[in-house]
Structure 1
């Protein structure tokens, strides 16, 4: 038998009007009471007509999440955090993956609009020159919050880690160990996060009197990232002036680098040290365990959802930019460079 709004009201001990207010996002019902009613609806498996609600211009209590690659543990963990926080606040999640293909961004944003989502969290990179894609976001009616990425031209809020500081941490760690000949495996230059990590790493090296030639910064544009990291790291490790340490702008590129070193018969960290970025679940189970710059992934997802909900409630006058601090996690993939042969 279908559960009705009357059943929900009776079970929750409230009036039908109160349940209607929760469904439609109107009225002065308290947040605590709204959550209690949402929990009753979930327990009874009550589903009001989302289509009818959307057509009436009311909330659907649905959030869209756009990520580049759900197979990347970083974005999988972001999605989990966004989903958990959304669930706590009574929202469902629709996830779309661009597979790092820019033509899918506009398509999925249109899909979100057709599904009448209340707001969108964007974790995928959009180039600064993609004006046609950015314009409808910057001036649209659906609130937008970006996570782990900056979105130029969009007036929504953003939750990011201090990528510049993270790059400096990696440089400080490697120079303190005595490394002077280093290289970087970078992501797409369109990503603000990658640019800032490189900039921070370069500045950190400069403070120690170490130069990072432009040729030592290698862009990994191919897919999948582990294979691309392995290919590009192999090229660096076969060069005549082999680096003693490689800083990778994400953990997947670092894992590819570990594979390349093993295939080349090199020891990590004996012959080459490797530093990643993200501190995903994979970082602690690699061989050797990976030294990496940790992002507070769970906290980022929670804050992004909270910010989006506040924007839906018109509780933010200025588009805030929340910057969280990274943390260097030292494991077994870094050590002092081997002494040069006499």
Structure 2
């Protein structure tokens, strides 16, 4: 027989109203009481009716997450952090991979609305403006993580991409590099533009003429990073360093260098961006710009749930400071 709210109240020795407040995240309930009720709900396998909650206009305790590609460690780590924080707060996660395809984005937005999710977190380079406007019109809370659309009234948590690009280039310049190439994701993405802009600013500040003009746009994958790095490294004016605007592209550059029998970092220095799990286990370990991934996931979930619960007014745009993690993929240039 299916466990009911009455069973939970009887087992916990509290009123039905108290159990209801714990389920809905409302009212003032002591931490001990809330934890005891949650434990009993788990023991008795209590499953609140999401459909009934949605039909009565109540919370479904579900948040949607749009990411470009779960195979990218950055988004896998973001998703894990968001999910973990959601579970702490009593919310489930519905995750959708969009491949940054506007049609898929639109389809998934429609799907999430049909599922009556309480809010949607977006970590894609979303370009489906019609879909976003429909969320605004229906007053479905939206928050961005690792991304932001300045023209949209929405919460966001991201890193300072300009500062990250600037620090990556400054590190290479400080080692003596003057021929630095950049491999980046789609320049239509604000994060890509800002990372490249920060890199170019550092080069111009150092008086390096034409520095950073070799900018290659790429699909975000190891394979494409390798292909573009091979093109750069077999060109007439091959760089002494490559700044790859994410770790997947950087690892592709590592593979290209090894295929050409170049020694990293002596023949080629490589800097990535994100500091995903892969950055520390690739050979050699990757110098990279670190995003505080776990912190970003927790903060964006906090923001959207606060809005779902009506606990905040106005939007917050949180910009975190990146950190350069120096490992064994960079050193001074052997060739000048």
Question: If the TM-score is normalised by the length of the shorter chain, which range does it land in?
Answer: over 0.9
Contact 1:182 1:212 in 2 (8 A): no
Report the alpha carbon displacement of residue 30 of structure 1 after superposing the two structures with TM.
3.2
Does 1:187 pair with 2:174? Answer: no
Mapping of residues 87-106 of structure 1, within 5 Å: 87-106=87-106
Over aligned residues, Cα RMSD in angstroms?
A: 1.7
Give the Cα separation in 2 of the matches to 1:181 and 1:198: 15
Contact 1:289 1:331 in 2 (8 A): yes
Report the alpha carbon displacement of residue 137 of structure 1 after superposing the two structures with TM.
3.0
Give the Cα separation in 2 of the matches to 1:52 and 1:220: 46
**Distance of aligned partners of 1:230 and 1:161 in 2 relative to their CA distance in 1, 3 Å threshold:** same
Give the Cα separation in 1 of the matches to 2:131 and 2:114: 16
**Distance of aligned partners of 1:199 and 1:215 in 2 relative to their CA distance in 1, 3 Å threshold:** closer
Report the alpha carbon displacement of residue 8 of structure 1 after superposing the two structures with TM.
1.2
- Residue aligning to 1:264: 260
Q: TM-score, normalised by structure 2?
A: 0.95
* Runs of 5+ consecutive residues of structure 1 not aligned to the other structure: none
* Runs of 5+ consecutive residues of structure 2 not aligned to the other structure: none
Q: Deviations over 1:192-237 (max 9, x none)?
A: 111111111111111211234575000003x6x1111011111000
Q: TM-score, normalised by structure 1?
A: 0.93
Give the Cα separation in 1 of the matches to 2:304 and 2:2: 32
Q: Deviations over 1:12-59 (max 9, x none)?
A: 332112222333455x23373545533432332100211111111111
- Residue aligning to 1:54: 54
Does 1:325 pair with 2:321? Answer: yes
Give the Cα separation in 1 of the matches to 2:30 and 2:243: 46
- Residue aligning to 1:80: 80
Number of residue pairs the alignment of both structures matches: 335
Q: Deviations over 1:121-175 (max 9, x none)?
A: 1111123xx4323322333321011000012432110000111111111011000
**Distance of aligned partners of 1:25 and 1:76 in 2 relative to their CA distance in 1, 3 Å threshold:** same
Give the Cα separation in 1 of the matches to 2:333 and 2:67: 37
**Distance of aligned partners of 1:216 and 1:110 in 2 relative to their CA distance in 1, 3 Å threshold:** same
Give the Cα separation in 2 of the matches to 1:201 and 1:36: 53
- Residue aligning to 1:292: 288
